[in-house]
Every structure is written in structure tokens, then in C-alpha cells.
Amino acid sequence: MATQQKVHKNILVISGDGIGPEVTRWGREVLQAIAQKYEHDFHFEEGLMGHVAIEATGNPLPDETLQKAQQSDAILFGAIGHPKYDQDPHLPVRPEQGLLRIRKELGLYANLRPIKLFDELLAASSIRPEVLQGADILFFRELTGDVYFGEKKKAEDGSWASDLMIYHRYEVERIARKAFEAARKRRRKLCSVDKANVLESSRLWRAVVQRLSADYPDVECTHMFVDNAAMQLIRDPRQFDVIVTANLFGDILTDEASQIAGSMGMLASASIGDGTGLYEPIHGSAPDIAGKGIANPLASILSVALMLQIGFGLQEEADAVIRAVDQTLKAGYRTLDIADKHTPNHMIVGTDAMGQQVIQRL
Ligand code: IPM
Ligand code: MG
């Protein structure tokens, strides 16, 4: 500890909707505990985004929040979404617009989603333990292109609607480079997932990745169609090291892959570009359990580990967080989503008790 530099960081906390505030609280507490233990100086600001921001200002991403985001060193984000909008798909102002806009404005084109099972959670997954054991995948999901940001059109009479799936060469190149570089530091395998047998944008994607692979002769680069990848992930997840894929495919595949980590409640992600990064659980606002105090705070806490590691370069601190989570699980503490009915010595706890347990072990 004494050899480490004291760092000063400004962190914007955007708790958002649903279970966002309940779980993000613990991400922040963990940051505070780390600051204390390693004598860093973390300064926190708060910002509104999503449904809560619409209610307060009419805007899912108020200018004030965006400004604070641009000035911060990192953003800890919870979740957004509200059932009200899902039941009425025609509402013009929607919480998700806030998240999509902040990704675009901050240039967060790479979404890293590490999928790794804590041994203690082998039984929590719906996949057989012998298939899962040892699986360790790092997803690079492209985050600012694709149908998410392509032109949207609809007929005035409501008879058709369309979303443009578009990729530019530079968009594929920059995410693929990040993925190749990450693969270099891991098991040197990169699988690029596309739908090049059908889609022009995927054929561009594949050609760009293929060309780049010449710069990384030490990385084994393969290509897989997305339908096959969806199946292979469940059939034999250990075959994958790093996966790079487009925005929509990555959105879907990483929800699926969360089962490899036991539960959505465990998965953290880092959205990065060339400046400030945003760190968030991959789970959504989970309105069905919001306010009940039963949500799993570990994805938020593990997002903090990613912030420490990727955002601030504080590897030792990041490892300490992961170790604390691991020890909490080893001690038998479980939120409902990762509870295993067949193991009698598990203690089912709520959000706050789980957060406390992790803090204690820091
Ligand atoms: C995610 C979420 C978002 C997405 C939604 C909330 C817009 O599902 O981060 O994976 O589709 O990107
Ligand atoms: Mg998603």
C-alpha cells in the first residue's frame, strides 16, 4: 500500500430507475471503502438519467447530467427503465434514450462484459456444472453503431417501420483492435461473431476483422455466425476466450451468457471509448423486485472493480474487491437470484446485508 500513489478521482453516480439506486448504493460504498483503505481521494457527484430524469425534467438525459459526465473521471451507473413505457411503445420520450445518448455523446464504443463464474455459483446456473466449470469469456460488444443508431423510419399510417443496420469501417476497426489487444493478454483467441451469410453490414464487419488479424499474428482469429454462437455458448462455453461482436448481437448474446456466470445479478460491464468510461451492471431496472431490498448488489460492486482496473489502472484495488466478493460467496451468503435450494448452509440475504458482507471483507 505504501508504494502506491494516492489518486484523486471525480466519480459521477447515476443510480437511475428500479433497483438501480438499491444496488448502486453498494457500488459507491465499496468505492468509499477502497478510498479509505488505500488512501485515495474519490469525490462523488450525482446525476439523473432515465425515468427519474423524465419525471423531474422531461428529459431522459438532462444537460446537467451530461455535463457532469463529461467532467468526471468515471461514471458508476445503475439501471434504467420503467414498465410504463414498455406497455406503451408509442411514448416518444423513453428512459432508454438517456442511456443511448450518453453512450453516443461520450463515445463509449466498446462495451466489455467479462463472463466468469465464481466457483461457488456452479449450482446457481441453469447450465450443467461440468459444462460451465472453467468458462472464462470476455465480450467486446460494439456500443455506438448498428440498428441502435441507424436511421429509424415508420409509415405515417403505421403499416411499416424500419431500423437501419449500418456499420462504418472505422467503427469495426476500433472495437476489433481493442478486442485483439485484450486477446493478446489472455489466451490469444478471438472469435468475431456476425451474420455474414445474410447481412451486408456483417460482410463488411468480417472483412475488416479479417484484414486486421494480419496485425495480430499471435492471436488466433475465427469467425462464427451469430445463430451458431448462441448455441455454442451453451453447448461448450470453454471454447471461447475473447468474443467481438456488433451492438445488437452483443446485447442478446451477453444476456444469454449471463447464465454462464450463474445470474444476471453477477455481471458487470465497462463501456469505454477514448475518454471517461461508464461502469454498469448488465442487468436492467428489474421493476418486479424494485424497492423490495432483495436485488443482488454484486454486479454493481463488480462494476466498481472494472472501474478501478480499467478506468483508474488500480489493479490491486480491483483484485481486493473481487476477493471480497469471492469470500462473501464462500462464506455462504446469497441473494435470491443466486440461491441454491439444494445447499442447506446458504444464508439468503437481502441487498443491504450482501453489501455489508462485502464491505466487511474489504
Ligand atoms: C444493455 C441494455 C440496453 C441495451 C437497453 C436498456 C437500452 O439492454 O445495456 O444491454 O439494449 O443496450
Ligand atoms: Mg441488454
Position 83 confidence tier, pLDDT thresholds 50, 70, 90: very high
pLDDT band at 66 (very low <50, low <70, confident <90, very high): very high
Write out pLDDT tens, residues 153-189.
999 999 999 999 999 999 999 999 999 999 999 999 9
Cell of 315: 489493479
**Which one, of 343, 142, 113, 153, lies nearest residue 233 by Cα?**
113
Name the 3-class secondary structure at 223.
strand
- The pTM (predicted TM-score) of the whole model is 0.94
Cα 283 to ligand 2 centre (Å): 7
In whole angstroms, give the CA distance from residue 32 to residue 299.
Answer: 17
Short-list 46, 49, 69, 75, CA closest to 61: 49
Q: Tell me the per-residue pLDDT of 233-290, one tens digit each, with 9 for 90 and over.
A: 999 999 999 999 999 999 999 999 988 988 888 999 999 999 999 999 999 999 999 9
pLDDT interval class at 2 (50, 70, 90) = very low
Among 96, 97, 256, the mutation site with the greatest number of ligand 1 atoms within 8 A of its Cβ is 96
Mean pLDDT of 335-352: 86
Residue linked to cell 488500480: 314
Question: Could you give the CA distance from residue 229 to residue 213 in angstroms, rounded to a whole number?
Answer: 20
Q: Is 96 in the pocket of ligand 1 (CB under 6 A)?
A: yes
Reply yes or no on whether 148 is catalytic: yes
Q: Maximum Cα–Cα distance for the chain, whole Å?
A: 68
* Of 136, 163, 251, 326, catalytic: 251
pLDDT at 350 over 60: yes
**Mean pLDDT, residues 78-107:** 94
Instruction: Tell me which of 251, 254, 269, 280 to substitute to probe ligand 1's pocket, judged by most ligand atoms within 8 Å of the beta carbon.
Output: 251
List b or e across 22-33, with b for residues whose CB sees 16 or more CB atoms inside 10 angstroms. bbbbbbbbbbeb
Q: Is 99 in the pocket of ligand 1 (CB under 6 A)?
A: yes
Mean pLDDT across the chain, nearest whole number?
95
**What pLDDT is attached to residue 126?**
82
Closest to 260 measured CA to CA, from 127, 139, 141: 127
**pLDDT tens sequence across 310-320:** 999 999 999 99
Bridge partners (DSSP) listed for residue 142 = 110
Give yes or no for residue 226 CB within 6 A of ligand 1.
no
Cell representation of residue 25: 448504493
Separation CA 211–CA 281 (nearest Å): 33
Domains of the chain: 1-112+266-362 (3.40.718.10), 136-259 (3.40.718.10)
Nearest ligand 1 atom to the CA of 81 is 6
In this predicted structure, the answer to whether residue 3 has a pLDDT above a threshold of 80 is: no
Distance 175 CA to ligand 2 centre (A): 18
